[in-house]
């Protein structure tokens, strides 16, 4: 295949990857943050301690997180069908990615919140701040630097998940590398795509590090 | 600082009725806090105690005595398991979390580890309680400037806490605690992470807070020196119970509990130990006596007059006078040299108005174990000083009791 034929296909694949990855980062970011904060505050002795809430989120995270994504996609197919209306295609893959990303990020968020000095939260409580206010004005700002780094770390995992999309006809760069590179014995294509992925990952890491450094004015 | 003194400028509409100075502002009624995690810990065990508006109240005790838990009951960071806690006219027991929040915002708190938010500047940290209390932006800025000026760190307003020294951090902590015009300031080991000099500065600031702003200050500490220099009254805690409470001067002069005596001994280092006595005897051949110096009994001027009247040379060889609750307190150890009868007469006159421990002379030593050995862990009677009879050497125990006065405080004779 010539470069002229391949270029538009590569552009499509790039677009599909970006669509999947950014959707998962946004949706998974929001839900992961909520679940992670939920995990943290509901833990015994914390701001909104609740045995049941903690147990539910904790068990869910522990069950979902270790499942390899390729298996996870098929495992939640019935749910995907219910929500997206299809079991294959980019929509189905994106849905599965959003769910998995939420659970992965939840744990990252929780682990970063644990590093906050409990004394600072206690001080805010002593000043009469409500739990909701403490979450917004103490927890998140105090853990912002590690949260940004954790979110950046998450991006690489999500990029990795998107490579599996080919199995469900989701397209994307991973699929492109396999179909037009690996299966055609065209190593230039394979390595070309790998290079693109590396560049994306590098750029995002750079962005994350820069942002984190900006936040860390202490 | 005109505006800082305006404690009546309370914008908080939920402010309580307000107890006037000298009346109880914090009342514990048989308050008990039990922690149940694994075992059962009675962190606060049946405490009944009044803290008066306008005073600096100390809570002292060893680690685990329940001091922190007791003060955390005041701002409802812990809720009493049983009994009552009343703050500024509001009974906290039984109030829901959302009703407790306005009470908390009227009580300032400072901490051993300062607990400043590292992501906010000094000014933003101080403004935080004002945001919580819903102050409008313009009023916040003015208030923050005023507070930073009061604690003396106006130049650090835009710095982040990580750039500050411990003393500066605690000043920020104090400014933050005072921001919303509290009537009560709780200080939990607020100087324990600071060096001695900075400790004095922070304690001086707390005294200013108390005096200039009329704020009731509750200081938790395990250092009797903090109580000695700063507090008006003190409660001594052990195993969740308040074992002794009273005027600081009174507690120093007549500690009624072993724990108290041990704490007093740590703050008063003016009594010679048996080692010191041995060295004093080696250096000084004359009659050695230790006499108490305090406001009620003997001022050092009076001691000097006595010596002069009897023509006895008195050299201070040990001891010192310090302040307890801002009144002179201590003991001096003299070597008395002169005619034997004159020395005896001077000693008798000392005894007539203050406590005295007669250590005898190097040739004929005497010793009173209860006074000369403030600690339990010292050599048993007679070991260090064979020949010490101790007979007749206690200074007028009949007058104020063996535990009273500057010399009696550290005895272990119970
Ligand atoms: N949240 C808690 N859960 C269980 N036990 C607790 C809790 N807080 C305090 N305790 C226990 O209650 C007792 C009193 O603790 P507290 O912190 O009040 O002591 P303290 O006098 O302030 O000691 P320190 O000088 O070490 O600060 C201790 O035995 C402690 O282990
Ligand atoms: Mg404590």
Instruction: Report pLDDT digits (tens) over B387-405.
Output: 333 333 333 233 333 344 4
Q: Which of A126, A137, A218 sits opposite B104 (nearest CB)?
A: A126
Mutation to test the B interface, candidates A112, A127, A143, most B Cβ within 10 Å: A127
Biggest distance spanned by C-alpha atoms of chain A: 69
Q: What tokens does B153 get?
A: 């760190």
The C-alpha atoms of residue B276 and residue B279 are separated, in whole angstroms, by 5
Homologous superfamily, domain B274-394: ACT domain (3.30.70.260)
* Per-residue confidence (pLDDT) for residue B127, from 0 to 100: 97
Q: Is B108 in the pocket of ligand 1 (CB under 6 A)?
A: no
* Per-residue confidence (pLDDT) for residue B21, from 0 to 100: 81
Q: How sure is the predictor about B413, in pLDDT bands with cuts at 50, 70 and 90?
A: very low
Overall residue count recorded for chain A in this entry: 218
Sequence ranges of the domains in chain A = 3-217
Q: How far is B75 from chain A (nearest CA, A)?
A: 7
Measured CA to CA in angstroms, residue B378 lies from A25, A166, B260, B269, B394 at distances of 69, 82, 19, 15, 19
Give the DSSP letter of residue B20.
P
Q: What tokens does A214 get?
A: 């900006």
Q: How sure is the predictor about B27, in pLDDT bands with cuts at 50, 70 and 90?
A: very high
Count of CB atoms situated within 10 Å of the CB of A202:
10
Q: Is the pLDDT of residue B72 over 70?
A: yes
Share of chain A above pLDDT 70, in %: 99
Name every chain A residue with its beta carbon within 8 A of the beta carbon of B132: 124, 127-129, 133
Contact between residue A121 and residue A40 where contact means Cβ atoms under 8 Å apart: no
* Per-residue confidence (pLDDT) for residue B125, from 0 to 100: 97
Contact between residue A215 and residue A173 where contact means Cβ atoms under 8 Å apart: no
Measured CA to CA in angstroms, residue A30 lies from A35, A121, B200, B211 at distances of 9, 23, 49, 50
Q: State CA B321 to chain mean position distance.
A: 17
Collapsed DSSP state (helix, strand, coil) of residue B222: coil
Residue of B nearest to A119 (CA): B115
* Per-residue confidence (pLDDT) for residue A139, from 0 to 100: 96
Question: Hey, are the CB atoms on A119 and B115 less than 8 Å from each other?
Answer: yes
Measured in Å, residue B150 CA sits from the centre of ligand 1 at 33
Mutation to test the B interface, candidates A45, A122, A128, most B Cβ within 10 Å: A128
Helix or strand holding residue B33 (H, E):
strand B24-37
* Per-residue confidence (pLDDT) for residue B406, from 0 to 100: 54
The C-alpha atoms of residue A40 and residue A34 are separated, in whole angstroms, by 10
Sequence ranges of the domains in chain B = 24-106+181-267, 274-394
Q: Can you tell me the mean pLDDT for A137-143?
A: 96
Least Cα distance to A121 among B210, B109, B368 occurs for B109
Burial of B249 (0-12, 13-18, 19+ CB in 10 A): buried
Give the CATH number of domain B24-106+181-267; options: 3.40.50.80, 3.40.50.300, 1.10.10.60, 3.40.50.2300: 3.40.50.300
Least Cα distance to B242 among B45, B50, B403 occurs for B45
The C-alpha atoms of residue B258 and residue B255 are separated, in whole angstroms, by 8
Name every chain A residue with its beta carbon within 8 A of the beta carbon of B113: 117, 119
Strands B241-247 and B233-238 turn out to be: antiparallel
Q: How sure is the predictor about B240, in pLDDT bands with cuts at 50, 70 and 90?
A: very high
Name every chain A residue with its beta carbon within 8 A of the beta carbon of B160: 217-218
Q: How sure is the predictor about A169, in pLDDT bands with cuts at 50, 70 and 90?
A: confident
Least Cα distance to B289 among B253, B336, B328 occurs for B336
Helix or strand holding residue B27 (H, E):
strand B24-37
Q: State CA B105 to chain mean position distance.
A: 26
Q: How sure is the predictor about B156, in pLDDT bands with cuts at 50, 70 and 90?
A: very high
Return residues 130-169 of A near B (CB < 8 Å): 130, 133, 137-138, 141-142, 144
Name the fold adopted by A3-217.
MetI-like fold (1.10.3720)
Share of chain B above pLDDT 70, in %: 83
Question: Hey, are the CB atoms on B117 and A138 less than 8 Å from each other?
Answer: yes
Measured CA to CA in angstroms, residue B165 lies from B113, B156, B159, B353, B400 at distances of 12, 11, 12, 49, 47
CA-nearest residue, atom 3 of ligand 1: B35
Contact between residue A162 and residue A173 where contact means Cβ atoms under 8 Å apart: yes
Question: Hey, are the CB atoms on A126 and B109 less than 8 Å from each other?
Answer: yes
Name every chain B residue with its beta carbon within 8 A of the beta carbon of A126: 75, 77, 104, 107, 109
Instruction: Lowest mean pLDDT of B77-91, B221-235, B299-313, name the range.
Output: B299-313
Query: Residue B389: phi, psi to the nearest 5?
Result: -100, -30
Least Cα distance to B388 among B409, B351, B362 occurs for B362
């Amino acid at each position: 295949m010539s470069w002229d034929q391949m270029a538009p296909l590569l552009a499509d694949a790039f677009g599909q990857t970006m669509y999947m990855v950014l959707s998962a980062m946004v949706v998974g970011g929001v839900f992961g943050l909520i679940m992670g904060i939920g995990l943290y505050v509901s833990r015994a002795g914390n701001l909104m301690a609740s045995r049941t809430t903690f147990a539910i989120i904790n068990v869910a995270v522990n069950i979902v997180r270790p499942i390899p994504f390729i298996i996870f996609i098929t495992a939640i197919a019935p749910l995907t069908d219910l929500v997206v209306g299809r079991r294959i295609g980019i929509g189905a893959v994106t849905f599965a990615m959003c769910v998995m990303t939420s659970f992965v990020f939840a744990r990252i968020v929780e682990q970063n919140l644990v590093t906050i000095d409990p004394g600072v939260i206690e001080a805010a409580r002593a000043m009469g701040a409500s739990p909701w206010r403490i979450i917004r004005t103490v927890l998140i700002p105090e853990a912002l630097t590690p949260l940004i780094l954790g979110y950046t770390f998450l991006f690489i995992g999500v990029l990795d998940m998107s490579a599996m999309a080919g199995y469900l006809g989701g397209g994307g760069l991973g699929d492109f590398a396999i179909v037009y590179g690996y299966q055609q014995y065209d190593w230039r294509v394979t390595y070309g795509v790998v290079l693109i992925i590396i560049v994306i990952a590098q750029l995002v890491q750079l962005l994350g590090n820069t942002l984190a450094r900006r936040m860390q004015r202490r | 600082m005109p505006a800082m003194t305006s404690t009546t400028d309370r914008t908080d509409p939920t402010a309580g009725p307000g107890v006037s100075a000298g009346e109880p502002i914090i009342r514990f009624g048989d308050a008990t806090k039990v922690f149940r995690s694994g075992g059962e810990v009675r962190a606060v065990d049946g405490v009944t105690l009044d803290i008066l508006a306008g005073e600096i109240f100390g809570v002292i005790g060893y680690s685990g005595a329940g001091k922190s838990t007791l003060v955390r009951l005041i701002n409802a960071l812990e809720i009493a398991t049983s009994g009552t806690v009343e703050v500024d006219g509001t009974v906290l027991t039984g109030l829901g979390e959302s009703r407790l929040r306005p009470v908390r915002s009227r009580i300032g708190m400072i901490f051993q580890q300062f607990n400043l938010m590292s992501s906010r500047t000094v000014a933003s940290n101080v403004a935080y309680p004002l945001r919580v209390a819903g102050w409008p932006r313009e009023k916040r800025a003015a208030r923050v400037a005023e507070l930073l000026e009061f604690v003396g760190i106006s130049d650090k307003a835009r710095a982040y806490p990580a750039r500050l020294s411990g003393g500066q951090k605690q000043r920020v902590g104090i400014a933050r605690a005072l921001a919303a015009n509290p009537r009560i300031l709780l200080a939990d080991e607020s100087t324990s992470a600071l060096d001695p000099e900075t400790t004095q500065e922070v304690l001086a600031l707390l005294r200013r807070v108390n005096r200039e702003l009329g704020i009731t200050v509750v200081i938790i500490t395990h250092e009797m020196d903090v109580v000695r220099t700063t507090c008006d009254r003190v409660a001594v805690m052990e195993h969740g119970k308040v074992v002794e409470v009273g005027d600081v001067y009174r507690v120093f002069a007549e500690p009624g509990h072993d724990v108290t005596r041990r704490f007093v001994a740590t703050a008063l280092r003016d009594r010679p130990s048996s080692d010191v006595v041995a060295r004093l005897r080696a250096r000084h051949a004359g009659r050695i006596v230790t006499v108490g110096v305090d406001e009620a009994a003997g001022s050092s001027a009076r001691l000097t007059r006595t010596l002069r009247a009897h023509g006895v040379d008195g050299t201070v060889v040990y001891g010192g006078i310090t302040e307890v609750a801002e009144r002179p307190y201590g003991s001096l150890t003299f070597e008395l040299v002169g005619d034997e009868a004159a020395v005896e007469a001077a000693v008798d006159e000392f005894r007539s108005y203050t406590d005295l421990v007669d250590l005898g002379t190097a040739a004929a030593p005497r010793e009173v174990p209860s006074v000369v050995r403030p600690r339990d862990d010292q050599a048993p009677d007679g070991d260090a000083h064979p020949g010490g009879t101790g007979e007749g050497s206690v200074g007028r125990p009949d007058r104020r009791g063996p535990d009273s006065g500057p010399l009696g405080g550290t005895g272990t004779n119970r």
